[in-house]
């Protein structure tokens, strides 16, 4: 079913072959949930993407006051890019209402984020979107850390009144039955600044690769679904390993029990293994 996308580079057999391979590699959820015109546009952009490229496009949606960001990351920078993008958005005080991430051929990341800019009243200008794009690019390229951005934008601070944000308990569920090739991690938690960053960074530190994610916010409750594999591209079959995932995620989220992305919450995710320390910054 790739005839609709044959015009990525019209008239060439090589283009058709590349399109077929790209569509075979990318997640079925992306193909089912994304409009054909958007898929075609993404393929055109990915076709011209170099391994070292980080490309960010953003548009303001006046009907709901959100900014839609498309982030394309070449294979040289795609490892760990999800948590770096999420951390950058948190540091810029952008609230993530929804996100979809997928990985295509040659480890190219195709990510979309729907965010609210709480520091900008009225229509978000192209200049502001350009600032956001620049910060994301620098974060993905590891030219700036989340801690540095957070301090710059004063996200680190007090923990507020000291009262819990919500009475709803956090739930982490690891599902190995629903997908034949991936382990599914479902997280139900109260929405708060930095939540997506803390979750995605913890998954990365656990040695898990997020191949697909669906992020949704309902009023004040977040339902995050992550399709993950280990560093060898395999499902998490070992029960003790699955218990570790639940425990580590629960502990990391607990550091965000109070309002604000506190320094201690980020510090809690900065404990590295020897293997991770050479890959992450």
Question: Span 242-261, mean pLDDT?
Answer: 81
pLDDT digits over 72-84, tens only? 999 999 999 999 9
DSSP 173-184: EEESSS-SS-EE
Would the pLDDT of 104 be above 60? Answer: yes
Distance CA 190, CA 281 (A): 28
* Cα separations in angstroms, 23 against 36, 42, 169: 12, 11, 39
Instruction: Judge whether 18 and 47 are in contact, CB under 8 Å.
Output: yes
Output 224 or 159, whichever has higher pLDDT. 224
DSSP 8-state class, residue 112 = E
Q: What is the pTM of this model?
A: 0.82
Tokens 């709803």, residue?
Answer: 168
Distance CA 15, CA 35 (A): 21
Q: Band of the pLDDT at 229, cuts 50, 70, 90?
A: very high
The boundaries of the domain holding residue 136 are 3-270
Residue 11: per-residue pLDDT:
56
Residue 155: per-residue pLDDT:
53
CA neighbor of 40 nearest in space, from 63, 66, 77, 10: 10
The percent of residues above 70 in pLDDT, for the chain, comes to 81
pLDDT digits over 110-119, tens only? 999 999 998 7
pLDDT digits over 181-225, tens only? 899 999 999 888 888 999 999 999 999 998 888 888 776 788 899
- The verdict on residue 281 lying in a domain is no
Tally of residues, the chain = 281
- The verdict on residue 276 lying in a domain is no
Q: Band of the pLDDT at 275, cuts 50, 70, 90?
A: very low
Would the pLDDT of 136 be above 90? Answer: yes
- The verdict on residue 280 lying in a domain is no
Instruction: Judge whether 256 and 201 are in contact, CB under 8 Å.
Output: no
Would the pLDDT of 268 be above 70? Answer: no
Would the pLDDT of 27 be above 90? Answer: no
- The verdict on residue 105 lying in a domain is yes
Question: Span 141-159, mean pLDDT?
Answer: 74
- The verdict on residue 80 lying in a domain is yes
- The verdict on residue 51 lying in a domain is yes
19 burial (CB, 10 Å; 0-12 / 13-18 / 19+) is buried
The percent of residues above 90 in pLDDT, for the chain, comes to 51
Would the pLDDT of 163 be above 70? Answer: no
Count of the separate structural domains present in the chain: 1
Mean pLDDT score across all residues of the chain: 83
- The verdict on residue 124 lying in a domain is yes
H helices of 195-238, in order, are 195-205
- The verdict on residue 277 lying in a domain is no
Instruction: Judge whether 255 and 265 are in contact, CB under 8 Å.
Output: yes
Question: Span 78-103, mean pLDDT?
Answer: 91
Residue 202 host element (H or E)? helix 195-205
Instruction: Judge whether 190 and 222 are in contact, CB under 8 Å.
Output: yes
Residue 139: per-residue pLDDT:
95
pLDDT digits over 41-71, tens only? 999 999 999 999 999 999 999 999 999 999 9
**Other Cβ atoms within 10 Å of 258 Cβ, number:** 17
Distance CA 117, CA 129 (A): 10
- Mean pLDDT is lowest, of 37-41, 134-138, 146-150, for 146-150
CA neighbor of 74 nearest in space, from 87, 56, 57, 91: 56
């Amino acid at each position: 079913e790739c005839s609709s996308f044959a015009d990525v580079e019209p008239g060439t057999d090589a283009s058709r072959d590349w399109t077929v391979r790209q569509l075979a590699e990318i997640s079925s959820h992306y193909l089912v949930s994304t409009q054909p015109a958007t898929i075609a546009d993404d393929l055109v952009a990915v076709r011209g993407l170099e391994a070292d490229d980080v490309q960010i496009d953003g548009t303001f949606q006046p009907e709901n006051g959100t900014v839609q960001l498309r982030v394309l990351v070449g294979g040289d920078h795609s490892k760990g890019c999800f948590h770096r993008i999420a951390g950058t958005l948190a540091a810029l005080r952008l609230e993530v209402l929804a996100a979809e991430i997928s990985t295509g051929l040659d480890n190219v990341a195709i990510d979309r984020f729907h965010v609210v800019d709480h520091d900008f009243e009225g229509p978000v200008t192209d200049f502001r979107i350009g600032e956001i794009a620049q910060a994301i690019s620098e974060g993905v390229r590891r030219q700036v850390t989340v801690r540095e951005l957070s301090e710059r934008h004063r996200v680190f601070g007090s923990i507020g009144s000291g009262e819990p944000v919500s009475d709803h308990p956090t739930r982490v569920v690891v599902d190995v039955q629903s997908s034949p090739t991936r382990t599914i991690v479902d997280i139900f938690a109260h929405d708060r600044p930095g939540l997506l960053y803390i979750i995605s960074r913890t998954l990365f530190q656990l040695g898990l690769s997020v191949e697909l994610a669906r992020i949704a916010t309902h009023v004040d409750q977040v339902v995050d679904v992550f399709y993950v594999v280990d560093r060898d591209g395999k499902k998490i079959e070992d029960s003790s390993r699955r218990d570790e995932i639940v425990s580590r995620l629960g502990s990391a989220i607990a550091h965000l029990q109070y309002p604000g992305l506190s320094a201690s919450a980020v510090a809690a995710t900065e404990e590295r293994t020897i293997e991770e320390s050479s890959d992450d910054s």
